[in-house]
Amino acid sequence: MGKKRQNTSQAKPSGQPVQVTAPGPAISVRLTKGERIFIWGMTILAAFLILCNLGNTYLWSDEAHTALLGKTILSHGVPKGTDGFNSYSVDPSGSNSDMDKSGTWIVTPWLPYYLVAPLTLLPTQDTEWLLRLPFALFGIFTVPLVYFLSRRFFGRETAIVSVVFLVLCVPFLLYSRQCRYYSMAMFFSVWLVLGYDKFLKNEKGWLPHVFLSQLFLFHTNYMIWAGLGAGIALHFFLMAFDKKRLENAFFVAVYAAFFHLPWIFMFATKASRDVASAGKFAENLRNFLIGINNHLLPLGFLLTALTFVWFSRKKSSGPPAKSAALLAILMATNLAAVCFSTGYFFRYLVGVIPAVLILAAFLWMKIFKRQKAAGIIIAALLIGTNLFALPVESFFKLTVWDDGGQPLFRFQLWNYLYEITHEYRGPIRGIVDYLRINARDGQKVAIPYGDLPLKYYLPKLRIVGGMTGENLTKEAAAEADWIILRHYTMLAVKEVSDYILANVNMDDYEKVEIDFPDYTFENIPEPEMHLFRTATDMQKVLILKKR
């Protein structure tokens, strides 16, 4: 009798992942000379668009917060919510729920803070571009990664279009220019999907790609990690299930849980209190769908592309269609994950920006292959204007943010080019520059919003109020040496303005108006609120100086 055939799907005694038979030949990773030239060219173009005038604006609130937490790492080894002099909490209630009893930061993952920590040793003046540089590099290196992923899914032509869409996507460029986690999330998300595709094709070396990318993504933003992880799991069980691959998937999940569980427990205390209610979830879903239409994948373009797909009358059940389904699932699960947050911020979707643009390129190719002239016109309108977004954008409005007075029909890429080639004068720049000259160490400043940038730029001043939730009465905010009453501020900190107005004796202060527009933010990257040029139709910043 012959030897009994060994069951290769059984686990090895060591408990290590086992090899399985690939479902088909892996796509060659060998690039042609033309491809290499294209990738280098587009990466250089992305570098120019992202790095040009990178230090044009002072840090806005979230950027300053990243730098402040990074700075505490140099003293304590872990990010702290205070330096012992000023608070870095972002809990306006004053309960400091974003740190534990020892002051350690427990709300968001720490990797971005470690990335920026060494750079906080530099002087705070004229070094904004250096603080943003590591994050900008992640944005730049996302470009070739997107090419490799799109090429594996849909071939060279679609990969070329995907990269063009990415490099000329204004939200991608804006988020890549921030001292914040956004570009890291994009890079690690693309890397994770790339690793998952290697896993499905059983390519050598898939395990470190999957494990490391999800590890770094978790420690960059756990909400995006959860959204993409759920999408990958859903796709695997619905569209790529294989008993032989299930064992490997199980081991990866166990290893990931082992590494993440302590951190999940740490984050869960605060995150569980911030989960949206059913009504808030529905409102968030509405807002995110409007945001996707307005800034990423317009409904007008989507319907146009699907119409071309319908009339092509070709059955699409092969690898490209399955890859498109994967991207759609990742978009859907990430959308569901962010809707559990307490509010709408378009930046919560940064993890799927590359995936959505790859999907858009795939759909555009359906148009181009059927009607080349129409495809070229549609691409130009899609990249350069918001024409396809107008039907939805003009009828449905976000329930949370004002559009900042932006015109309904916009040329955002042109506006972006203007921004990176011109000076921008924001309120934080004006306030910081004025106080650097006129304030003395140890003096107290009360400000409703913008306190975090001031704490970064002016660490020897005592800054109270705003997002950090100090007890205004205990801190004698109404008697501060400097009071900055913002004309435009956030609703969450309006009570600080109300307190100051109700308790300050204006006769004790000299009013100083500086020639900087008092926009709420220095310049937030959120597409609805971003200003591409210095505002000329806003009130000026008003500073009260104690006589």
Asked whether 333 and 231 are in contact (CB, 8 A), the reply is: yes
Q: pLDDT tens-digit profile of 2-37?
A: 444 444 434 444 444 444 444 444 455 689 999 999
E strand spans, 26-130: none
Q: pLDDT tens-digit profile of 183-222?
A: 999 999 999 999 999 999 989 899 999 999 999 999 999 9
Amino acid at 190: V
Q: What was the pLDDT predicted at 15?
A: 43
- Decide: helix, strand or coil at residue 409: coil
- Strands 540-546 and 482-484, sheet pairing: antiparallel
Sheet containing 482-484: order of strands: 462-464, 444-446, 482-484, 540-546, 509-517
Q: How far apart are CA 509 and CA 547, in angstroms?
A: 5
Q: pLDDT tens-digit profile of 517-533?
A: 999 999 999 999 999 99
Q: What was the pLDDT predicted at 2?
A: 44
Check pLDDT > 70 for residue 404.
Answer: no
- Decide: helix, strand or coil at residue 462: strand
Q: pLDDT tens-digit profile of 251-306?
A: 888 888 888 888 888 887 666 567 778 888 999 999 999 999 999 999 999 999 98
Q: How far apart are CA 466 and CA 435, in angstroms?
A: 18
Check pLDDT > 60 for residue 171.
Answer: yes
- pLDDT (average), residues 396-404: 77
Q: How far apart are CA 353 and CA 347, in angstroms?
A: 10
Q: How far apart are CA 256 and CA 265, in angstroms?
A: 14
**Span of 92-101, 282-291, 507-516 with lowest mean pLDDT:** 92-101
Q: pLDDT tens-digit profile of 334-391?
A: 999 999 988 899 999 999 999 999 999 999 999 999 889 999 999 999 999 999 999 9
pLDDT bin (cut points 50, 70, 90) of residue 508 is very high
